[in-house]
Amino acid sequence: MVMAVQAGNGFGRPAPVGVGIGRLAAAGVRLRRRMRAGLSGLGLRPGGEGPVGPQAATGAADLIRQSEREQVLAQARVHGMVAIQISELMQGNVGRREDLRRQLVERQDRSDLSAAWLCSRIEELDRLITQQVATVDWHLRESRRLRQRIGAE
């Protein structure tokens, strides 16, 4: 069961069924950022132990930056893996399309119905391949953008 944090009181409640885990995770990240910003603006540590020294603040900021960097790298890796998987599916569809084209060319009887079916199936695969190419391209661009954002490329 997914739990959502209510208005900063720290208590969890079941999240509505339509709320995805990704949205909850993003909300948690935003909440932690707001909390860090509020505590550091007051000059206090998250545990309430008193003022934050310059070295402690720098060390904490470095840890936060490193954690965010690792998270962005993980997102970039996921985009790359999705691009590879869709590319493999696309290659299979290209092979099917070529088989259908070969069948269309080699047909002896050339009945209108079977040729029309082959042509419609080839067009359908063309549209699917075009969508898959665009999707692979987007995932690769997104992976590259995320890596450049943190200076990993």
71 and 16 in a common domain: no
For the entire predicted model, the pTM comes to 0.55
Q: Concatenated DSSP letters for the chain?
A: --EEE-TTS--EEEPPTT--HHHHHHHHHHHHHHHHHHHHHHTB-TT--SBPPHHHHHHHHHHHHHHHHHHHHHHHHHHHHHHHHHHHHHHHHHHHHHHHHHHHHH-SS--HHHHHHHHHHHHHHHHHHHHHHHHHHHHHHHHHHHHHHTT--
For residue 145, what are the domain limits? 66-153
Tens digit of each residue's pLDDT (9 = 90 or more) over 102-149: 998 887 766 778 888 999 999 999 999 999 999 999 999 999 999 998
153 and 103 in a common domain: yes
- Is 60 among the domain residues? no
- Is 111 among the domain residues? yes
